[in-house]
Structure 1
Amino acid sequence: MAEITYAQAINQALREEMLNDSKVFCMGEDIALHGGIFGATRGLFKEFGAERVRNTPISEAGFIGTAVGAAVTGMRPVAELMYIDFTAVCMDQIVNQAAKLRYMFGGKAKVPIVIRTQGGGGRGNAAQHSQSLEAWFVHIPGIKVVMPATPYDAKGLLKSAIRDDDPVLFIEHKILYSVKGDVPEGEYLIPLGKADIKRPGKDVTVIATSLMVHRALSAAEKLAKEGIDVEVIDPRTLKPLDIETIVSSVKKTNRVVIVHEAHKTGGVGAEIATRIMEEAFDYLDAPIKRVAGMDVPIPYNMELEKICIPQEEDIIDAIKSVL
């Protein structure tokens, strides 16, 4: 094991897969010499050159469309969108092309494209650079949605995503890039669609995504001092969703809190809650509680931003409310 940052884990995954398969290449705005806005591609241009680490114009529709074309014709592009907010500029390329081409061609065309993008708030980047839009894409058949919370998960899941023959939206939280964690020095893969129990417990199940996993774990440690034993589950992949692991936990704890940073209305928490109701209703001893972002644009002011995004105290209050 080596302790590295989340950004370094992403970088390692990209480098290893580029060494493993000459068809893998990276593209995006300022990813070459600059190494990307968050440094995740730093050093790759020097090692692999301009053919495989390609700077693109500031045209998300253009270079995502190019990546889709490259994938259909046999390459494995990893395209970086600086912020998930910018998916709004290239929705046709993602939703109507990448997600549907394999189906439209009767399975004869594969679309092995990974779109790496950065989501979430916490840096005062304001309403157009701080959104959590994963629910948009969970709704679309044909595209997989991954949200790793740790360096270990980020590397293992990205390697699996690059090797997958279907489009994958790979969402990295901008606050997590500097977070450190243990990562194996040898090669490993984490299968898409497999949740991880980050902390076992018996009193309540907390299902959290991305940055909220860390806040849920911190909340669980504080509550343990009060005799409350919290199980924290990270789905890691929102589509496909590992509902079996979640339901198994619910049958044990009988109480559920779902935590995500995205707006509450229409968020993935609603889908997860419904699946639990459909498959484990008889095991619930309390209503499911959601902790989510407010239904407002994310403010630029840092103090206002904190109010709009779930904090550790909000998770603690929600857990206590279902006990």
Structure 2
Amino acid sequence: MNALNEQKAHEASAVASMTMIQALRSAMDVMLGRDDNVVIFGEDVGYFGGVFRCTDGLQAKYGKSRVFDAPISENGIAGAAVGMSAYGLRPVAEIQFADYVYPAVDQIVSEAARLRYRSNGQFTSAITFRMPCGGGIYGGQTHSQSPEAIFTQVCGLRTVMPSNPYDAKGLLIASIESDDPVVFLEPKRLYNGPFDGHHDRPVTPWAKHPTAAVPEGYYNVPLDSAAVVRPGKQITILTYGTTVWVAQAAAEETGIDAEVIDLRSLWPLDLETIVESVKKTRRCLVLHEATRTCGFGAELVSLVQEHCFYHLEAPIERVTGWDTPYPHAQEWDYFPGPARVGAALKRVMEV
């Protein structure tokens, strides 16, 4: 699906310039207003408005019964969300950092993901688990992980990661409306910007607050739909989250006519868009911030190999984070930057 075509569908709506944080807050505001069953809870999300201020002002507007704080217990937050959804609510449960989710994995995987199947459809898990993920804030190894691959292999879960304010709002609304549990990963490096992939190192990264045009009211971006954010003919880059911007910057800097696909929904996956692109370009590069071994990129490589083998003119390339505990001091070396991506693009094109 072409991202430009999606935005044209909302040209008649009133729009505002929003950062990703503002867009996420707008999505929750819209859904709290539309559906009385929507509740938002987590650590510090109420009076304080969340550690990243994503829920700022929502408790004051909707009250403490709709937007409220939870104890410091991720397992308890996830378990409570399962119970709420079984009784008809649509909870949006914030895990303050994706790194903190591990105590809650049992509730998310064993309970939320399986409830509909286990009850033969009598109950659903209409839960959205919001999690800030990835690096860029010098948070070290316990505040900077990208655990998306853990959830993409779980039957019954949806896993989503936006790359821009417009998609962030539309995908979050679609996630809250979904009857399936959604792990909604929010790249912290994109919360306030910069929306610029040209730097291997930060350039006053929090001094600016880049914005994008986002409809103020209700709209959604369909789950399971990838976006072609940069059309091209020579090679396909499959990516998501922060590295969507890195991919575009690398293509511009190398002059290679790369088609950049923003997956948006990691699972279920828009395989049709991927296959169509790779069969056209005949080359493929997979890019993500998470570690390499058993990262989601490994699944993408396998799928492209299975569906596009006879169309490929070169081996599939992978550019990822390192196979190491998250390195605090070497954070910006760990990130796949435009230099590393550009070198990989050139390698593929030389075959």
Q: TM-score, normalised by structure 2?
A: 0.89
1:322 has 2:348 as partner: yes
- Residues 46-85 of structure 1, C-alpha deviations (whole Å, 9 max, x = no match): 1001000010111111121101100111000000001111
- Correspondence list, 1:1-323, <5 A: 1-179=15-193, 180-224=211-255, 228-301=256-329, 304-323=330-349
**What is the distance in 2 between the residues matched to 1:8 and 1:219?**
28
**What is the distance in 1 between the residues matched to 2:217 and 2:96?**
29
Aligned-partner residue type, residue 181 of structure 1: A
Identity %, equivalent residues:
45
Q: Is the 8 A contact 1:148 1:210 kept in 2?
A: yes
**What is the distance in 2 between the residues matched to 1:222 and 1:238?**
27
- Residues 141-161 of structure 1, C-alpha deviations (whole Å, 9 max, x = no match): 000000000000000000000
**What is the distance in 2 between the residues matched to 1:221 and 1:299?**
28
CA deviation after TM superposition for structure 1 residue 312, in Å? 1.3
Alignment RMSD:
0.9
**What is the distance in 2 between the residues matched to 1:42 and 1:319?**
42
Equivalent position of 2:198 in the other structure = none
Q: Is the 8 A contact 2:30 2:217 kept in 1?
A: no
Aligned length: 318
Q: Is the 8 A contact 1:259 1:291 kept in 2?
A: yes
Structure 1 unmatched ranges of 5 or more: none
**What is the distance in 1 between the residues matched to 2:245 and 2:340?**
13
Indicate the SS of the match to 2:243. helix
CA deviation after TM superposition for structure 1 residue 132, in Å? 0.6
CA deviation after TM superposition for structure 1 residue 185, in Å? 3.1
Indicate the SS of the match to 1:178. coil
**What is the distance in 2 between the residues matched to 1:187 and 1:317?**
42
Q: Is the 8 A contact 2:26 2:216 kept in 1?
A: no
CA deviation after TM superposition for structure 1 residue 187, in Å? 2.4
Indicate the SS of the match to 1:191. coil
- Residues 234-263 of structure 1, C-alpha deviations (whole Å, 9 max, x = no match): 010001100110110001111111100110
Q: Is the 8 A contact 1:85 1:131 kept in 2?
A: yes
Runs of 4+ in 1 over 3 A off after TM superposition: none
**What is the distance in 2 between the residues matched to 1:30 and 1:252?**
48
CA deviation after TM superposition for structure 1 residue 181, in Å? 1.5
Q: Is the 8 A contact 2:74 2:104 kept in 1?
A: yes
**What is the distance in 2 between the residues matched to 1:217 and 1:38?**
27
Larger displacement relative to structure 2 (38-47 or 179-188): 179-188
CA deviation after TM superposition for structure 1 residue 2, in Å? 2.2
- Residues 247-301 of structure 1, C-alpha deviations (whole Å, 9 max, x = no match): 1000111111110011000011110111111111111100000000100011221
Aligned-partner residue type, residue 265 of structure 2: T
Larger displacement relative to structure 2 (123-132 or 143-152): 123-132
Indicate the SS of the match to 1:117. strand
**What is the distance in 2 between the residues matched to 1:146 and 1:169?**
6
Q: TM-score, normalised by structure 1?
A: 0.97
Q: Is the 8 A contact 1:142 1:167 kept in 2?
A: yes
**What is the distance in 1 between the residues matched to 2:346 and 2:235?**
9
CA deviation after TM superposition for structure 1 residue 122, in Å? 1.7
Aligned-partner residue type, residue 40 of structure 1: C
**What is the distance in 1 between the residues matched to 2:138 and 2:219?**
35
Q: Is the 8 A contact 1:296 1:308 kept in 2?
A: no
Indicate the SS of the match to 1:213. helix
- Residues 173-213 of structure 1, C-alpha deviations (whole Å, 9 max, x = no match): 11111132121234211110000001001111111110000
Larger displacement relative to structure 2 (309-318 or 184-193): 184-193
